[in-house]
Structure 1
Amino acid sequence: MDRVVIVSARIGAGHDGAARELDRRFAARGAEVVRVDFLDLLPGRLGSVLCETYHRQLKTVPRSWDWLLGALGTPTLAGASRRFAGLAAPALREVLGDGTDLVVSTYPLGTHAAARLARTERGCPPLVTYLTDPSVHRLCVSPMAKLTVAPNEIAARQARSLGAGRVLVSSPLVSPAFRPGAGPAERLLLRRRLGLPRDRALALVVAGSWGVGQIGQTAADLVGTGLVEPVVVCGRNEVLARRLHQAGHRYVFGWVDEMADLMRACDVVVQNAGGLTTSEALATGLPVLTYRCLPGHGRANAAVLHDDGTVPWVRSSRELAGALDWVLRPVEAAG
């Protein structure tokens, strides 16, 4: 395999995170890898408008995302979304050129742009769809894909029911930096370097690259249990970081390049979306809880992860202390 084109999108960090790891693995096998952003393939400013609209929706009216995802699952709107994705097909055709051996998509609309080419042009390279979430929406799947890679058996069954052909279950794509900790000595060193307390159980609160969701309330609820000190990663949401500091939270980070080290310094991850960060935490050996999850894909992912026994879904503040006590017991027993 000589040339691989990977289609992702800068909508959140999960699609790009999977694309980066695919890039690393294909390059390690000697392939020439080209990564493109679906949003940049759209005509004019359509890509920027799409990204900005999605971001604004999650920040201002997040509950509408439940409704929208449901609507996009209907045949009419799903078809309209596929046609919209087709607007990126001409630019993608130019990227592919004549020497591409494989197209891999980590973003649903990128999948349908590549599928449009596969339907309408001869000689297009085979398409592989990589599913970044544990739950599968109708728009994540195309029958034109030669292979669909799912992160778990539940996602694989959902993909098949939505029309995917050959489906392979594979562990989530996670950078090798996300490894289990080497023991208490490494944790102590990391806490010292990151400016974290040495003698408290730490809950790492993550909210994706955009820092969306009920993060302030989550941090307050964690403090209220008396069991953990919250360590909050706000991504690029500077307003959220200021609000948390003003509320008295001491350990607040913005965009983090050393997320693997930060995870190994903490005792539990509390997340609200169930995507890439959850896979990274599990690869690091940390217990994970879903709490105050985002509407739409956040709730769908939470249900799958809870049902397969991977990540408990804590549905109320009353349940939070018990869930923390349960996941922290091995840490306390280990000293």
Structure 2
Amino acid sequence: MGAGHDTVAAELVRRARERGDTAQTVDVLALLPYGLGTVLRCLYRGSVRHFPWAYAAVYRLFLRPGPGRRPSGTPLARLAGGRLRELARRTGADVVVPVFHLGAQLTGHLRDRGLLPVPTAVLVIDFEVHRQWLHPGNDHYLCLTEDAAREARGSTGRPAERCGPVVAPEFFAGTTGAPGTAGWRDVFGRLGPGRPAVVLSAGAWGVGSHLDATVRLLTDHGFLPVVLCGGNRRLRRTLSGAPGVLALGWVTDMPGLLHAARALVDNAAGQTAVQALAAGLPVVGHRPLPGHGADGVRRMAALGVSEVAEDETELLGALRRLTAPGPAREQRIAAGHALFTENGDALTLVTDLADGSRARARRRERAYGRDARTG
């Protein structure tokens, strides 16, 4: 739907190709017939931008975790079944890795009915594991945290383990992979000398609640707001007219930007948030998007890797503590980095699953050959 799923898929492909494997991505929405994928994307984007209460209702009905019988996404997902099966056959795939919940419903349905011959490893990229990620037909689950893995095991009865967030190596603090950092610091220094640069993330679609009020609050209290407007040109035009504000469109040098800033104000607990944690940037959740955004922001804070600011006073207090040098900032950075330590690499876990499946297939073939000779 947004860019986070694509970013994770692209990083897995990069790692696979670096190791000499063959990998490719496919948009599950593009596999749906009759243009349904485009309709779904437009409906979701429109509801989040203009009718957030409508998306909150959809989330409560279809997605929110918890007991109770509620509608499933499987009937919609199964419409893409024929195209995915043909793609897996044509490419000779050894494993399929959904990184979006509709994909997980599709592969779970196919595996459950014996229609997809290769194993599936669902990479759950949300901190809050909502119910549409979970289908007992899938073979394996890879999650950001051990708590999430425990939930996946309990709900599906399938193996699940922690792999941590999938982030490109140049985001990590201490790397030399962010050559644009000095350039961003120069820009920040010219626009707001002496003002800590605080990144406000509005996602790929530039969606947020009362972003203009948050920007005014930060400028009035000595911060330099750096707003990621994504593809929302209207938002960028509106904010660009305000003094002491840096409103950006699509940013191609996110590692350099995050390394140069002092904090991130986040509303979705998505890929930008985990990239910030990798870069050593404290994260504060504020005015989260409804549904999975709000649940994810609160789950991040419960894990101790970020904070939640319920109002303007809390936001200012958190930013003053976390942008200034000192133990509060260092502790929050260390907690964020802990998400990435001592985890199994997601790609290694995926290829181990594929290797095991190939080994079992070879044993079956040998056993079949023996039976045929002795029969």
CA RMSD of aligned residues (A): 2.3
Identity %: 33
User: Given that residues 135 and 300 in structure 1 are in contact (C-alpha distance below 8 angstroms), is that contact kept between their aligned partners in structure 2?
Assistant: yes
Match of 1:260 in 2: 255
The range that moved more, 322-331 or 45-54, is 322-331
Shift of 1:154: 2.5
Shift of 1:119: 2.3
* 113 and 232 in structure 1: CA distance in 2 versus 1, 3 angstrom threshold: same
Aligned length: 320
Letter in 2 for 1:177: E
Match of 1:220 in 2: 216
In 2, Cα distance between equivalents of 1:44 and 1:174: 34
User: Given that residues 286 and 309 in structure 2 are in contact (C-alpha distance below 8 angstroms), is that contact kept between their aligned partners in structure 1?
Assistant: yes
In 2, Cα distance between equivalents of 1:160 and 1:150: 11
Shift of 1:123: 5.8
> Secondary structure of the equivalent of 2:200?
strand
The range that moved more, 156-165 or 201-210, is 156-165
The range that moved more, 13-22 or 60-69, is 60-69
Match of 1:145 in 2: 138
> Secondary structure of the equivalent of 1:203?
strand
User: Given that residues 270 and 288 in structure 1 are in contact (C-alpha distance below 8 angstroms), is that contact kept between their aligned partners in structure 2?
Assistant: yes
Match of 1:156 in 2: 149
In 1, Cα distance between equivalents of 2:168 and 2:197: 23
Aligned counterpart for 2:4 among listed residues 8, 14, 17 = 14
Match of 2:316 in 1: 321
Give runs of aligned pairs for residues 146-185 of structure 1, distance below 5 A.
146-180=139-173
* 332 and 222 in structure 1: CA distance in 2 versus 1, 3 angstrom threshold: farther
TM-score (norm 2): 0.80
Match of 2:45 in 1: 55
Matched, 1:92 2:84: yes
Matched, 1:273 2:265: no
In 2, Cα distance between equivalents of 1:249 and 1:56: 30
Give the number of the structure whose alpha-carbon radius of gyration is greater: 2
Match of 1:5 in 2: none
Aligned counterpart for 2:282 among listed residues 283, 287, 290 = 287
* 107 and 12 in structure 1: CA distance in 2 versus 1, 3 angstrom threshold: same
> Secondary structure of the equivalent of 2:150?
helix
Aligned counterpart for 1:191 among listed residues 185, 197, 203 = 185
In 1, Cα distance between equivalents of 2:126 and 2:328: 33
Match of 1:71 in 2: 61
Cα offsets for 1:166-205 (capped at 9, x unmatched): 111012000112121579x985443226765453211011
Match of 1:236 in 2: 231
Cα offsets for 1:18-40 (capped at 9, x unmatched): 10111111112211112100111
User: Given that residues 142 and 164 in structure 1 are in contact (C-alpha distance below 8 angstroms), is that contact kept between their aligned partners in structure 2?
Assistant: no
| Gap runs ≥5 in structure 1 | 1-10
* 30 and 156 in structure 1: CA distance in 2 versus 1, 3 angstrom threshold: same
| Gap runs ≥5 in structure 2 | 330-375
* 239 and 101 in structure 1: CA distance in 2 versus 1, 3 angstrom threshold: same
The range that moved more, 115-124 or 102-111, is 115-124
* 177 and 196 in structure 1: CA distance in 2 versus 1, 3 angstrom threshold: farther
Letter in 1 for 2:133: C
Letter in 1 for 2:232: N
* 59 and 146 in structure 1: CA distance in 2 versus 1, 3 angstrom threshold: same
> Secondary structure of the equivalent of 2:97?
strand
In 2, Cα distance between equivalents of 1:129 and 1:122: 17
Shift of 1:317: 0.8
User: Given that residues 181 and 187 in structure 1 are in contact (C-alpha distance below 8 angstroms), is that contact kept between their aligned partners in structure 2?
Assistant: no
Shift of 1:250: 3.1
In 1, Cα distance between equivalents of 2:52 and 2:244: 24
Letter in 2 for 1:219: V
Structure richer in helix, relative to its length: 2
Match of 2:18 in 1: 28
Letter in 2 for 1:57: S
* 187 and 40 in structure 1: CA distance in 2 versus 1, 3 angstrom threshold: closer
User: Given that residues 74 and 105 in structure 2 are in contact (C-alpha distance below 8 angstroms), is that contact kept between their aligned partners in structure 1?
Assistant: yes
In 2, Cα distance between equivalents of 1:131 and 1:89: 20
Aligned counterpart for 1:246 among listed residues 235, 238, 241 = 241
User: Given that residues 149 and 169 in structure 1 are in contact (C-alpha distance below 8 angstroms), is that contact kept between their aligned partners in structure 2?
Assistant: yes
Match of 1:131 in 2: 124
Letter in 2 for 1:142: H
* 154 and 219 in structure 1: CA distance in 2 versus 1, 3 angstrom threshold: farther
Structure richer in strand, relative to its length: 1
Match of 2:301 in 1: 306
Match of 1:103 in 2: 96
Cα offsets for 1:101-140 (capped at 9, x unmatched): 0000001111111222212335611000001111110001
In 1, Cα distance between equivalents of 2:222 and 2:277: 21
> Secondary structure of the equivalent of 2:325?
helix
